[in-house]
Amino acid sequence: MVAVRQAHEMQQKAEKRAHKFRKQARLLELALKDRNDWEDIAEYRRQQWVKAIRERYHKQDQTSQLARERETVQERLVQITRERDTALRVLENRRRAWEMQRIQSLERENYLQDQIEAGLVEIHHLNNLLHPIPCPAPVYPEVGP
């Protein structure tokens, strides 16, 4: 009987140890699961961080590209503005030249008209000298012709 009791006590001790080891194994599994969860979270956060860095670099590249494009557009705008200003100056000069030409042509026309009138007066005067027109005889109504 002593042997049966010793065997029974040893079996109870073994069960207690097994229970203790199972409990420790469960705690270890929970700790490993927590560690794996934390590693997953850390990996996810690392991936998010890497993605954010890549996006930032991409945005910086886009910003640089947009800045270069803006500079190009500004240079083109300055060039177009200069061309427009040149065209406006040429147009203004042409308009002034046209106005001056019109004024000069009117002055020339007036001068030639004056010359023609003076010439006609001179011709009329010379014609009167060559072919004088006699003055009509005065008519007196009471006296008769």
Contact between residue 117 and residue 109 where contact means Cβ atoms under 8 Å apart: no
pLDDT for 144 equals 54
pLDDT for 111 equals 95
Q: What's the DSSP call for residue 144? A: B
What pTM does this model have?
A: 0.46
pLDDT for 143 equals 65
Q: Is residue 35 part of a domain?
A: yes
Between vectors from CA 43 to CA 37 and to CA 47, what angle results, nearest 5°? 145
Q: Is residue 113 part of a domain?
A: no
pLDDT tens per residue, range 80-125: 999 999 999 999 999 999 999 999 999 999 999 999 999 999 988 8
- Total number of domains constituting the chain: 1
Tokens found for residue 48: 């998010």
pLDDT tens per residue, range 49-67: 999 999 999 999 999 999 9
User: Any long-range contacts for 134-141 (C-beta under 8 Å, 24+ apart)?
Assistant: none
Q: Is residue 85 part of a domain?
A: yes
Average pLDDT over residues 43-48: 94
Q: Is residue 133 part of a domain?
A: no
Burial of 90-117, coded b for 16+ CB within 10 Å and e otherwise, reads eeeeeeeeeeeeeeeeeeeeeeeeeeee
Q: Is residue 119 part of a domain?
A: no
pLDDT over threshold 70, residue 145: no
Which residue intervals of the chain are DSSP H helices?
Answer: 2-130
Domain boundaries, position 66:
29-97
Q: Is residue 4 part of a domain?
A: no
Q: Is residue 117 part of a domain?
A: no
Least confident of 28-32, 40-44, 51-55, 81-85: 28-32
